[in-house]
Amino acid sequence: MKKTYALVGAGSRAYYMFALPMVSDELNSYVQLDGVYDKNRKRAELLSAACGGVPVYDSFEAMLAGARPDTVVVASTDSTHHTYIIAALEAGCDVITEKPMTTTGPYAAAILEAERRTGRTVTVTFNLRFAPYFAQVKSLIAAGEIGEVQHIALEYYLNRIHGADYFRRWHAEMANSGGLLVHKSTHHFDIINWWMDSRPTEVHAYGGRRFYGPTREERGERCLTCDYQDRCDFYLDIRQDEFMASRFLEAEQEDGYLRDRCVFDERIDIYDTMSVHVRYDSGSLLTYSLLAFSPDEGWRATVTGSKGKLELANLYSNADLRGESTSEIRLLLPGQPVRTIEIDTGADGHGGGDAKLRSMLFGEPGTPDPLGQQAGSEAGALSLLIGAAANLSIEERRPVAIDEQMGAAVPAGERR
């Protein structure tokens, strides 16, 4: 018997990651999508039309009552996640939510309390855990190849295409997304927590707006009506992209949301340059940085253990400028030749992780999970709490304890 699902959110992630695979041969043997709700009804109707006429609802409450799903999939604006997650749990549904699970410590605490109270479960879609590259690193650590992890250093670069897009969209306002340290870095903090197998306890961070926001005089409200289109490197014509034109430009009258806001707009209050230091309860340390206006895109990291070190790199946009490999892990042990491990990342989204994540979420029940790749609410909370603590640390210029964000609401070792 198929499990039934309802989807809240009808943007690009909701459509490509969830709705389309659910109604295609990939998943329709296992799942049935019985409803979609988005505050922008036109966007929901377009998703429905592309997915075989999935029922569209005028409110989330009406969808819960009408569709009566086994599981609700949450893929809405980050700051609304907690509202839908808690309502779904209280209606007797399990929940699958896009990352970040929510945007603040109090919201995370409320989700954890509702999960315990209702007996239902929350799963967070950390797709990078399923990407072959990241999974191989976890396997090497779990096998004891480098001993106990002592320190991780990770630098992440967003280029001026991918990075700039966050500053056009709703993500550019802290109230909507928690900033990049919550919305984007939750991916990275979760991977690091997973590799560390330890609980973060304290965060100290620095950050600022060095590039985007009101840093230049030549700016407008949006690209489509801007007087400086012909000389702006960040001009985006959303009319040229069918998905953006139909889902956003032609749906603006529904909610007033502009998909092509100026990346130099005064409303922008999130950081584009960030550096974070984290202490774990094992005593291990993390050094992390994120830059949103790099000429290239990707990341590099070192994972140093008591016996050796892993060198990792994936600079996948303009990578030739640095000669970095996108598919190798270098294992360094004292007195031994460097061992190079080749990784087949595949062509699927997020480094090969999206399809593998869907298989775990929606495929045959009881699928083995030896690496603990499927993430629950504790993992969701701990990753976003690092970002939330980092934001507070930047604002108040001091170290911030993780428990300060929400009390001791994340029991150590529970649903990691």
* 163-217 pLDDT per residue, tens: 999 999 999 999 999 999 999 999 999 999 999 999 999 999 999 999 999 999 9
What's the mean pLDDT in 89-105? 98
H helix runs in 103-248, sequence order: 105-118, 132-142, 162-166, 174-177, 180-183, 185-196, 242-247
Residues 331, 203, single domain; the answer is yes
For residue 407, what pLDDT is reported?
A: 67
Q: Which residue has the higher pLDDT, 410 or 196?
A: 196
For residue 324, what pLDDT is reported?
A: 46
Last residue of a domain, one of 95, 125, 155: 125
For residue 321, what pLDDT is reported?
A: 43
Residues with Cβ within 8 Å of 143's Cβ and at least 6 positions away in sequence, in order, are: none
Residues 30, 138, single domain; the answer is no
For residue 337, what pLDDT is reported?
A: 97
Residues 91, 199, single domain; the answer is no
Collapsing DSSP states into helix, strand and coil, what is residue 330? Answer: strand
For residue 349, what pLDDT is reported?
A: 54
Residue 415 lies in a domain: no
User: What number of H helices and E strands is found in the chain?
Assistant: 16, 15
Residue 296 lies in a domain: yes
For residue 325, what pLDDT is reported?
A: 41
171 near 183, Cβ under 8 Å? Answer: yes
* 260-288 pLDDT per residue, tens: 999 999 999 999 999 999 999 999 999 99
Task: Among 97-101, 264-268, 295-299, name the one with the lowest average pLDDT.
Answer: 295-299
Residues 246, 107, single domain; the answer is no
Residues 180, 242, single domain; the answer is no
114 near 85, Cβ under 8 Å? Answer: yes
What's the mean pLDDT in 124-142? 97
Paired strand residues for 72 = 6, 95
Mean of all residue pLDDT scores within the chain: 93
What's the mean pLDDT in 275-304? 97
For residue 345, what pLDDT is reported?
A: 65
Residues 147, 74, single domain; the answer is no
Nearest to 154 by CA among 271, 285, 280: 285
Number of structural domains in the chain? 3
For residue 363, what pLDDT is reported?
A: 82
What's the mean pLDDT in 286-306? 97
Helix (H) or strand (E) holding 412: none
Whether the pLDDT of residue 107 is over 70: the answer is yes
Last residue of a domain, one of 125, 155, 179: 125
User: pLDDT category, 415, cuts 50, 70, 90?
Assistant: very low
Residues 166, 308, single domain; the answer is yes
Whether the pLDDT of residue 290 is over 90: the answer is yes
Residue-range definition of the domain harbouring residue 74: 3-125
> Radius of gyration (Cα) for the chain, nearest Å?
21
Q: Residue 86's domain is classified under what CATH number?
A: 3.40.50.720
Collapsing DSSP states into helix, strand and coil, what is residue 209? Answer: coil
Residue 365 lies in a domain: no
188, two tokens: 């990275």
Q: Residue 380's domain is classified under what CATH number?
A: 3.30.360.10
Collapsing DSSP states into helix, strand and coil, what is residue 331? Answer: strand
For residue 406, what pLDDT is reported?
A: 75
Residues 225, 309, single domain; the answer is no
For residue 7, what pLDDT is reported?
A: 99
Q: Which residue has the higher pLDDT, 407 or 229?
A: 229
Residues 45, 165, single domain; the answer is no
For residue 412, what pLDDT is reported?
A: 47
Residue count (the chain): 416
The crossing angle, in degrees rounded to 10, of helices 132-142 and 185-196 is 20
Residues with Cβ within 8 Å of 357's Cβ and at least 6 positions away in sequence, in order, are: 125, 126, 127, 129, 130, 373
For residue 319, what pLDDT is reported?
A: 46
Whether the pLDDT of residue 37 is over 50: the answer is yes
Question: pTM of the predicted model, to two decimals?
Answer: 0.94
Residues 272, 261, single domain; the answer is no
Residues with Cβ within 8 Å of 276's Cβ and at least 6 positions away in sequence, in order, are: 181, 185, 203, 204, 205, 286, 287, 288, 289, 290, 386, 390
Reduced DSSP (H G I as helix, E B as strand, rest coil) percent helix, strand, coil of the chain, to 5: 40, 25, 40
